[in-house]
Structure 1
Amino acid sequence: MNSKPRKFTILIANDDEDTRFLMAEALREVRVEIRSKFVENGEEVLDYLYRRGQFADRSNWYQPDLILLDLNMPRLDGREALTSIRADPDLRQIPVAILTTSHRSGDILLCYRLGANSFISKPVTFEGLVEVMKTLCQYWFEIVSLPPQEL
Structure 2
Amino acid sequence: MTDTDAIHPEPAQLLLVEDNPGDVRLTEEAFGQGRSENDLHVVSDGGEALDFLTRQDEYADAPRPDLILLDLNLPRTGGEEVLKELKDDPELRPIPVIVLTSSQTEEDITRSYERHANAFLTKPVDPDEFIETIRAFETFWCTVVHLPPEVDET
TM-score clears 0.5 = yes
Does residue 37 (structure 1) correspond to residue 41 (structure 2)? The answer is: yes
Q: What do residues 89-126 of structure 1 show as CA deviations (whole Å, max 9, x unaligned)?
A: 00000000000000001100000000100000001122
User: 1:5 Cα shift?
Assistant: 4.2
Q: Per the alignment, in what secondary structure is the counterpart of residue 22 of structure 1?
A: helix
- 1:10 maps to 14
Q: Following superposition of structure 1 onto structure 2, how do residues 120-135 of structure 1 map, counting pairs within 5 Å?
A: 120-135=121-136
User: 1:137 Cα shift?
Assistant: 1.2
- Output the aligned Cα RMSD: 1.7
Show structure 1 runs of 4+ deviating over 2 A: 1-5
Q: Following superposition of structure 1 onto structure 2, how do residues 92-107 of structure 1 map, counting pairs within 5 Å?
A: 92-107=93-108
Letter in 1 for 2:145: V
User: 1:36 Cα shift?
Assistant: 0.4
Q: Compute the TM-score of the two structures, normalised by the length of structure 2.
A: 0.90
Q: Per the alignment, in what secondary structure is the counterpart of residue 41 of structure 2?
A: strand
Letter in 2 for 1:29: Q
Tell me how far apart the structure 2 counterparts of residues 79 and 68 of structure 1 sit (CA, whole Å).
Answer: 13
Q: Following superposition of structure 1 onto structure 2, how do residues 49-88 of structure 1 map, counting pairs within 5 Å?
A: 49-56=53-60, 58=61, 61-88=62-89
Q: Compute the TM-score of the two structures, normalised by the length of structure 1.
A: 0.92
Letter in 2 for 1:148: P
- 1:115 maps to 116
- 2:149 maps to 148
Q: Per the alignment, in what secondary structure is the counterpart of residue 68 of structure 2?
A: strand
Q: Per the alignment, in what secondary structure is the counterpart of residue 28 of structure 1?
A: helix
Tell me how far apart the structure 2 counterparts of residues 103 and 36 of structure 1 sit (CA, whole Å).
Answer: 25
User: 1:150 Cα shift?
Assistant: 3.9
User: Structure 1 unaligned runs (5+)?
Assistant: none
Tell me how far apart the structure 1 counterparts of residues 47 and 102 of structure 2 sit (CA, whole Å).
Answer: 20
Letter in 2 for 1:135: A
Count, aligned residues? 148
Tell me how far apart the structure 1 counterparts of residues 9 and 128 of structure 2 sit (CA, whole Å).
Answer: 27
5-14 or 109-118, which deviates more: 5-14
Tell me how far apart the structure 1 counterparts of residues 9 and 35 of structure 2 sit (CA, whole Å).
Answer: 11
